[in-house]
Amino acid sequence: MPAATAPLAGDALLVAVTDAMVGLHQRYHHRAPVTARTQLLGGDLLACVLGGVYTDVEKTMIELRHSRVGPDLEIELFMLAPEADAAGS
């Protein structure tokens, strides 16, 4: 059995979340986003922003239905439990 590793924190945690989200997007959409970034906001909100997620065909279909098309982004938000609650206190 492998030795337990310490939980990730700081930039290493954000990079790991970004990599996981890119992997999920690639798994389910069969292509990687062009850009990806994860940020911790206020200590309890984790935001992952993936850019360049639409194909050219998807962009065309969106533009045909809407006169104003928003940015080519996918945003995933995660609400984190406070540290005391996460530890079971």
pTM above 0.85, yes or no: no
Choice among 24-28, 31-35, 58-62, 83-87 with the minimum mean pLDDT: 83-87
In the chain, the percentage of residues whose pLDDT exceeds 70 is 87
Backbone angles phi, psi at 64, to 5 degrees: -70, -25
Residue type, 72: D
For residue 8, the model assigns a pLDDT of 87
The tokens describing 17, both together, are 């979340």
Sorted by where each begins, the domain ranges of the chain are 33-89
Average pLDDT for the chain = 87
> Which has the closest alpha carbon to 39: 74, 86, 72, 76?
76
pLDDT digits (tens, 9 = 90+) for 34-68: 999 999 998 899 999 999 999 888 888 888 887 66
CA–CA distance from 25 to each of 30, 46, 89 (Å)? 7, 17, 35
Write out 6-62 in H/E/C secondary structure.
CCCCHHHHHHHHHHHHHHHHHHHHCCCCCEEEEEEECCCEEEEEEECCCCHHHHHHH
